[in-house]
Structures are given as C-alpha cells and as structure tokens.
Amino acid sequence: MDDRLGTTLHTGLLLSTTAVLAWLSGFPMLFPSLGPSAFVLALFQDSDATSPRRVIGGHAIGVVAGLLAYHSFGVTLSITAATDPGSLAGLRLVSSGVVATMLTAGGMLWTETRHPPACATTLIVSLGLLSTPLEGALIVVTVVVLVVAHELLLATERVGARYGDRLRS
C-alpha cells in the first residue's frame, strides 16, 4: 500500500476510535489536538516521536499546565465568548494561554516528553474549552485510548506482514 494512503487511513482509524467513544458516551473525547497527535502516530509509527511516554506525557503536561494557568489567573470564561477590548478578563484569559504554553514547552523539554500537539492541548484547557480537572483527566484518558489504538494497529500490521501468506493459503 502507498505510504500516503496508509498514513491517511491510519490517521482516520485512530481518530475514529475516539470519535466513536465520544459519540457513544457524550463526553468530549474528540478535540483539536488529537488530530495532530493521530497524524504524528500514523506518519512516524515506531519512531521515538511516537513513544507512549512522549505522547501521553506531553499531553499530561499540557493538561496540568493548562489547569494551573487557567485557575491561577482566575479565569471564569472561555475563548468562545467575546471580551471587551482591553479588558482585565480578556487579559487574564490570554495570559493564561501564554503561560500555559510556556509551562508546557518547558515541562516537555525538561522531562524529554516532546510532543508538539500537546501545546494545542494546553491551549484547549487554559483558554477555558475543557478547563475542569475532570475534563483534564478525560483528555489524558482519551490520549491513552488513542495510543492504545495505535499500538493495536501496529500489532495487527505486524501479524499480517508475518503470517499473511500463511493465512491466505
């Protein structure tokens, strides 16, 4: 199979896993940073960039940094609501996003869990889209589901490559 097609299908299968769970549960288990994570997992497959420690660790750091920033700045709104130009509420919200992203970048570098899509996760949290501790935990659980789905797809591909001819006979 063409690598481009394989990567495209792999990305779609990974996101389908969390999309079905979101649909069946009603929980927000499909959020913007999962798309880039699924693409990285599909594109680089077995590289260091896709190690569960990096993917899950990066998003976990993003969640913690986002929660810390959002609640430290006392933000009570989300980026989806308009703020008055130059308002203190708007300043607190954008400051939360900047500080969370800095904490996430530093945390990932410090712990060697670099996963760039986690910077999107920290913005999702710090800008009030999924900003409760329960929602933060759900983000991490969803990323774990994504990584497990990826590992299962890789295992299935390996079994097919190893035993495919025997299975067809």
Residue-wise pLDDT for 38-69, tens only, equals 999 999 987 898 999 999 999 999 999 999 99
Straight-line distance from the first to the last Cα atom of the chain, in angstroms, rounded to the nearest whole number: 21
pLDDT-based confidence at 157, cuts 50/70/90? confident
**Beta strand spans in the chain (E):** none
- pTM tops 0.85: yes
On the question of pLDDT at 167 being above 70, the answer is no
Q: What is the number of residues in the chain?
A: 169
Output the pLDDT for position 122.
Answer: 98
Determine contact, residues 77/89, Cβ cutoff 8 Å: yes
Instruction: Look at the block and give the residue holding tokens 């797809």.
Output: 153
Per-residue tokens: 17: 């896993």
74 or 137, which is more confident = 137
On the question of pLDDT at 169 being above 60, the answer is no
* CB neighbour class for 158 (10 Å; exposed up to 12, middle 13-18, buried from 19): exposed
Determine contact, residues 59/121, Cβ cutoff 8 Å: yes
pLDDT-based confidence at 75, cuts 50/70/90? confident
Mean pLDDT across the chain: 92
Provide CB contacts within 8 A for 2, sequence distance 6+.
none
